Structure 1
C-alpha cells in the first residue's frame, strides 16, 4: 500500500470518527477536544469546519439528509446547512464526566456507539444502540476507553475495542440488534501502541488504528495479522474507506498526550491522511431516524 500522505494539516488535538458520506462524496470527521466537525472534499481539496457546542465523538449521515452527532451529553441531529444541533436523546445522565466516543451504523440503519469517562480514570464505559428513536443500552461495557463498534459486511458480527486493555472483542448479533456471547478477537502486544478505532473492509477484514503505535493494522476474520500501514505520526485513531470506489483509506490522527517538543518533531501530528487500498471498503449506511 502507498505511504500515507497528509491531505489536511488540521492539527487536531483528538481527530476521530472519519466517515465517507456517499451523498456528499466527502470525508467527514471530528476533533473531539477542539469541539469541531470537519468536512474534506477530495475532488477540489475543499475544507470546511463547524463548531460544536460540546465535545463531539462522531458525526454520521442520517436518512433525513442531516447527520447524527454524538455530543458529550447525548445524540443530536446536526444540520450542516444551518450549523444547528437538535437533541435527540440524553445518554449516561447518571454518570458525571462521561462523553460519547466512537460510533458506527450497521446495515439495517441502527446506530451503535460507546461512552467513556472523559478523564479515562475508570472502567465505566458503556455501549448503546439507537434505532428509530429508541435508545438501548447493550450488555457490553466496563471499559475505560471504548472504541468502535464495527460490523462485518453482512452485519452479523460486531467488533468492539477495549483500548486500555489492548484487546478487540467480537460477538454475533441478530437482525433485531440482540448480541450473543462476546469472545476475544485480537490482543495487541504490549509496546505496540493501543488499538483505537476499528473498521471493516469489503472482504470482512478488520482494520485497527494504533494510538501510540504509528500505524494501522489489518486482520483477517480469523484474527491473523495480514497487513500494516506505517505513519509518520504516533497517534493514529481510525481508518475510513472513501473515494468514488472506496479504495482510498483516510486516517485521522491526534496530538493528544504529545509534548510541545514532540509536536515540533512531528508537525503533521493531528492531520488527516490518505493512502491507497488494495481492498475497498463498504458504503456507510444511513442512520434510521
Structure 2
C-alpha cells in the first residue's frame, strides 16, 4: 500500500478527518486555527469554515449541522449562518489551559470527545459524552492526551488512545446507556512511539496514525500488529475510511512544531493522503440530537 497526497488544502495542524458517504464530501480540521475544510471528492473543490475557537474534532449531525469539540467544550456550527452555538454550561468553558482534542460518534448517535492540556504535560484530560438532549457526562479522567477513539463493529467495545501514555485502551461498552467499564490495555507502544488518531475497519482492525512516526500502523482486532504503511511526513495525525467503496484510507498530517530544517525535509507536511486498502471501513454514525 502506498500513500498519495490528495486535495489542494494545506492545514497547519490537520486532524479529525470525516467522510460523508451521502454527499461524497471529505472534512478535516485545522485544529489551532479553528477551521475545517469541506472537500468535494470528485472535483477536489474545497470550502473552509472558521468556527472561532480551536477545533479539535467535528462530526456530522442528522439535522445538517456540525457538532464540534472546541476550546470551550461542545457546540454546534451552522454553515448557513457561520455561527457557533456552545452547549449551555459546556464542560470546558472556564478552563484556559485545556481544549478538546479528538472524538467520535457512537453507534446510537452520541458524541464522545476528550481533552488535553495545550502542552500535553499533565494528566488533566477528561473524556466526555454529549447526549441526544445536549446534556453531557464525564466518563473518564486522568488522561494526558485524549486521542483516537471508536467502537468495535458489534458496538460492544469502546477504544481510546492516550498518546503520551503510549497506549490504546479498550472498555466494555453498554450501548443502551453509553457507559464504559473495565478498562484494559489493548495495544501498547514503546515510550518513543506516539499513537494519535485512528480508524477502525469493518473487521474490527485498527489503523493508527503515528505522531513523529512517518507511518500508519495497522493492527487486527485482537491488537496484533500487521504492517506499517510509510508516509513522507513526520507528524501523521489521524485517518478515516472513505471513497466510493469505503476502502480508501484518508489521512491527515501536521507541520506543527517542525523546525525550519524539518519543514524542508517534510515538504508535504499538513497535506492529506489517500491509501487504497482491501478492507472496507465502517460508516461513521451521525449525532442524533
Normalised to the residue count of structure 2, the TM-score between the two structures is: 0.95
- The answer on whether the counterparts of 1:22 and 1:284 sit within 8 Å (CA) in structure 2 is no
The match for 1:187 is 188
Tell me the alpha carbon deviations over residues 226-268 of structure 1, each in whole angstroms, 9 at most, x when there is no partner: 1221100011111100012111110000011111111122110
The match for 1:177 is 178
**Between Structure 1 and Structure 2, how many residues are aligned?**
286
The match for 1:6 is 5
Q: CA deviation at 1:94?
A: 5.5
RMSD: 1.4
The match for 2:91 is 91
Tell me the alpha carbon deviations over residues 65-84 of structure 1, each in whole angstroms, 9 at most, x when there is no partner: 11101111021111223322
**Secondary structure, aligned partner of 2:181:** coil
The match for 1:163 is 163
- The answer on whether the counterparts of 2:51 and 2:77 sit within 8 Å (CA) in structure 1 is no
The match for 2:223 is 223
Alpha-carbon separation, structure 2, partners of 1:92 and 1:45: 35
Alpha-carbon separation, structure 1, partners of 2:29 and 2:91: 19
Q: CA deviation at 1:276?
A: 0.4
Tell me the alpha carbon deviations over residues 206-232 of structure 1, each in whole angstroms, 9 at most, x when there is no partner: 121100001111111211001221100
The match for 1:200 is 200
The match for 1:261 is 261
Alpha-carbon separation, structure 2, partners of 1:247 and 1:166: 27
The match for 1:17 is 16
Alpha-carbon separation, structure 2, partners of 1:151 and 1:170: 9
Q: CA deviation at 1:9?
A: 5.0
Alpha-carbon separation, structure 2, partners of 1:136 and 1:160: 17
Alpha-carbon separation, structure 2, partners of 1:224 and 1:119: 31
**Secondary structure, aligned partner of 1:147:** strand
Matches within 5 A, 1:1-289: 1=1, 3-89=2-88, 90-93=90-93, 95-132=95-132, 133-138=134-139, 140-175=140-175, 176-191=177-192, 193-289=193-289
- The answer on whether the counterparts of 1:39 and 1:49 sit within 8 Å (CA) in structure 2 is yes
- The answer on whether the counterparts of 2:35 and 2:55 sit within 8 Å (CA) in structure 1 is yes
